[in-house]
Amino acid sequence: MKINNCRSCNSEELVPILSLGNSPLANALLTEGQLAQPEPTYPLELVFCSNCNLVQITETVPPEQLFREYLYFSSFSDTVLQNAKQIVDRLAEQRTLSQNSLVIEIASNDGYLLQYYQTKGIPVLGIEPAYNIARVAQQRGIPTLAEFFNQRLAQELRSQGKLADVIHANNVLAHVADLNGLVSGIATVLKGDGLAVVEAPYVKDLIDFVEFDTIYHEHLCYFSLTSVDFLFRKHGLIVTDVEHIPIHGGSLRLFINHQKGGQPVSDAVSQMLIEEADWGVRQQNLYQVFGQNVNRLRQGLLECLLDLRAKGNHIAAYGASAKGTTLLNYFSIGAEFLEFVVDRSTVKQGLYTPGTHLPILSPEELLRRKPDYVLLLTWNFADEILAQQEQYRAQGGKFIIPIPHVRIV
């Protein structure tokens, strides 16, 4: 379904930025038996709201189709686990959380974050819409509701007396079509003196570093502090502090309180709002130049791969990721360039990539098959993966890192 109004402010002032054509769903990995069947694709069009400055895509795929069965398990990433443990340790101490507290995580995945609270004896509740992932969390002993978080569920929790001292929402704000419903739900279930901690990829990094491959149908919105501050204030919430963190190619970590709580706004928030204004967060030409940079990147990567193949090199890819689906399909990089993809997730191994139909194997195949080069599709975890693949690299294997510019390491 295509939207004609902004997902945040309902304005009709949506300015086209970039068209990535029709693309398959980023995480719709295929079995061998599905390869011969028609594969659905959906428009992937990026626009900018000139009223509230929110960058968003226009197509909404039903969330039941995207998220009820899901193949991304957070615990397969050491970087994600480390990021989770650090913020848990910090908040548990700062907020003096105890057995009388409650921490809720929206889109809690396999319990990757809540497990660290639980080991401290702090009660937790996960809310995870993917049935298969919620089951894994439940089997690990982490209380988890297999539900979508919205205003209705928030009211239900409130009526049960389940109000949160801390709410986490990592990489979920961008996935929700009903932005206002989610934010009003946070306001409903957060205690008066509670804290919500929201992490979302930062649109400034997307633009500055040409991170176009983070654009896919699950990611409906791309936030600046300017646009997210506008959104939360509408629901009686306020961003009182912000951190710019490196995870996922650059993200905002937002600390959010009830406005009526009187929590002062930090200098970091005030300064970032000024920096975004100076950068051009409200200027549509900034985003349109981004589209031109994406096409230059496409040309550079294709030239690199054509040259390597012409010299007889064998090339594989690392990371059967959502961002990999966008890059491979928009750049038209398939079996003529890449022989296979490896991924650490055992859930993905044995399947095939959407659109390009490349087999997904285990990372051990790099040592067995010894491709000359590996295109790193999960470039946002480059340090972690390069360290894991030290043996392959010691034997002469090289990685092609495509973002923000093509380089070989």
For residue 233, which phi and psi values (nearest 5 degrees)?
-60, -30
Predicted confidence at residue 214, as pLDDT, reads: 92
The residues that bridge with 56 in the sheet, in sequence order, are: 47, 221
Predicted confidence at residue 74, as pLDDT, reads: 74
Alpha carbon distance 67, 127 (integer Å): 13
Alpha carbon distance 130, 153 (integer Å): 16
Mean pLDDT in each 10-residue stretch from start to end of the chain (409 residues)? 95 94 93 94 95 96 75 75 93 96 96 95 96 93 95 97 97 92 97 96 95 93 97 97 89 96 92 97 91 94 97 97 95 97 94 97 96 96 93 97 95
Q: Is CATH 3.40.50.150 correct for 65-282?
A: yes
DSSP structural state of residue 174? G
Predicted confidence at residue 247, as pLDDT, reads: 80
Helix (DSSP H) and strand (DSSP E) numbers for the chain: 14, 17
Predicted confidence at residue 68, as pLDDT, reads: 67
Predicted confidence at residue 1, as pLDDT, reads: 85
For residue 331, which phi and psi values (nearest 5 degrees)?
-85, -5
List the structure tokens of 186: 């946070």
* Of residues 202, 256, 242, the one with CA closest to residue 55: 202
Helices 225-233, 179-189: axis angle to 10 degrees equals 60
Q: What is the pTM of this model?
A: 0.88
Predicted confidence at residue 349, as pLDDT, reads: 96
Q: Do 65-282 and 311-408 show the same overall fold?
A: yes
Q: Name the fold adopted by 311-408.
A: Rossmann fold (3.40.50)
For the chain, the domains span 65-282, 311-408
Angle at 143 between CA 141 and CA 147, to 5 degrees: 135
